Amino acid sequence: MTSQSAPMLEAVRLRRLHADRQHCLLDDVSLAVHAGRPLGVMGSSGAGKTLLLRALAMLDPTDSGEVRFQGHVARRASVPWFRCQVIYLHQRPVLPGATVEAALRQPFALVAHRRRRFEEARAVELLGRVGRDASFLEKPTANLSGGEQQLSALVRAMQLDPVVLLLDEPAASLDRDATLAVETLLAEWLEESPGQHSYVWVGHDVEQTRRMTHETAFIHGGRVTREPA
């Protein structure tokens, strides 16, 4: 079990320069995500929220600083393994495959998950917890609404049992019932395996973000503070 005192995922003085090399997109950003204590990130459009999530997921390069996972520096050589443990969910996910089932099966074709296999029962159970029955597996991905895409992407990630989820406005396209279902699913995910999981929640709704997290960091002009800009 991960110690509550040691960060599960940590950004240490991350810095990313604009292509002009004159301006910072991320400016000396440090923050920590602890087991069972999800972190909220808020800020205006263009403040750097998504850039920060992508840096934490090792999807984009940084000019300096480092990402640490479970106390160790995340190295480029270990990125495939790291991304099995730390999964980033885009606000507007693009799902591979012709149907929802195909999209959920796709990760198991990757080398990183070669020792695992798709479990339909697990997928159906997760879908049920966000208000969708087994028939949803047959739905064409081309016909999914924005909210259904978000729900499918969340189920796709959670079936892989990651350690940390990086959630970029995960309720932005959801109706009230679906939003409540997602909030409940995430809360239960933490409760079912105490000390094993956490998430970063990027949101625009102050009340919801604070409800879903233990503390909130605010980002403005690429810099993180503990108070709104």
Q: What is the pLDDT of residues 93-125, one digit of tens each?
A: 999 999 999 999 999 999 988 889 999 999 999
What would the mean pLDDT of 181-204 be, rounded to a whole number? 95
What would the mean pLDDT of 206-229 be, rounded to a whole number? 88
For position 227, what pLDDT does the model report?
A: 65
Domain encompassing residue 170: 9-225
Q: For residue 126, what is the domain's CATH number?
A: 3.40.50.300
Burial 188-211, CB ≥16 within 10 A → b, else e: ebbeeeeeebbbbbbbeeeeebee
Least trusted range by pLDDT, from 1-15, 105-119, 192-206: 1-15
In a domain, 109, yes or no: yes
Q: Measured between alpha carbons, how far is residue 60 from residues 16, 56, 65, 83, 140 in Å?
A: 9, 9, 13, 13, 31
In a domain, 4, yes or no: no
- Whether 163 has a pLDDT exceeding 50, the answer reads yes
In a domain, 94, yes or no: yes
For position 226, what pLDDT does the model report?
A: 75
For position 72, what pLDDT does the model report?
A: 94
Which residues does residue 12 pair with via DSSP β-bridges, in sequence order? 66
Give the distance, in angstroms, between the CA of residue 47 and the centroid of all CA atoms in the same chain: 18
In a domain, 1, yes or no: no
Tens digits of per-residue pLDDT, 172-191?
899 999 999 999 999 999 99
In a domain, 47, yes or no: yes
Tokens (6 digits) for 107: 């990760």
In a domain, 2, yes or no: no
Closest CA to 175 of 131, 229, 228, 121: 131
Tens digits of per-residue pLDDT, 62-79?
999 999 999 999 998 889
Q: Measured between alpha carbons, how far is residue 132 from residues 94, 100, 148, 178 in Å?
A: 19, 11, 9, 10
In a domain, 135, yes or no: yes
For position 229, what pLDDT does the model report?
A: 54
For position 153, what pLDDT does the model report?
A: 97
- Whether 27 has a pLDDT exceeding 90, the answer reads yes
Average pLDDT, the chain: 93
For position 4, what pLDDT does the model report?
A: 52
**Could you identify the residue written with the tokens 């980002």?**
219
In a domain, 3, yes or no: no
Confidence of residue 21 (pLDDT cuts 50, 70, 90): confident
For position 139, what pLDDT does the model report?
A: 97
Domains contained in the chain, number: 1
